[in-house]
Amino acid sequence: MGDSHFHDVSDFSKLASDQRNKAAIVFLDSPGGYLWTGIKIGQIIHRHGFSTVVADGVQCSSSCALAWLGGKERFIGDTAMVGFHAASHTTGEISPEGNAIVGAYLYEIGITEAKAIAYLTKASPHSMVWLTRSEAGMRNIPVEPIPFVKAPWQNRHC
């Protein structure tokens, strides 16, 4: 869990800072990556008050899902997949210190109920708990359906 697991998020941080008091929606789509990177991106999203979206047909899991949780408002498409699991060392073993960091981050962004934190970190590093809107509601994790009539971003390729 040292600095070698932290990837540079300076480009994202600069983009976020350039928004200066403007609303923004961050669309996420990734199978995950490094714990520290996901948490840092989530903290930036949270600090700026941005909303987060995982659109229909998109997977956002592991560190991506942690970043998604940083949203002021969190949106999930009906067929989106948002997955969580316990933190791990590079060896694949569960990292108790990593899970403690995840718990502290979740508390920082407003997910303070122990049952919710335990739920989001209960799956082994080699499996996944898939969060649905109904499951989030049962765990007091505010999540909303995507309110857009048509998803204009689905046909855009950058």
Q: Specify if 116 maps to a domain.
A: yes
pLDDT values of the chain reduced to their tens digit, one per residue, 158 residues? 334 344 678 888 888 888 877 888 999 999 999 999 999 999 999 999 999 999 999 999 999 999 999 999 999 999 999 999 999 998 989 999 999 999 999 999 999 999 999 999 999 999 999 999 899 999 999 999 887 654 555 544 44
Q: Specify if 32 maps to a domain.
A: yes
Query: Which residues are within 8 A (CB) of 67 and not within 5 positions of it... i.e. 6 or more apart?
Result: 26, 28, 38, 39, 41, 42, 45, 52
Q: Specify if 44 maps to a domain.
A: yes
* Total structural domains within the chain: 1
We report the CATH number of the domain holding residue 39 as 3.90.226.10
Residue 134 belongs to domain spanning: 26-145
State the pTM of this model: 0.86
Q: What is the pLDDT of residue 81?
A: 95
Q: Specify if 17 maps to a domain.
A: no
Q: Specify if 15 maps to a domain.
A: no
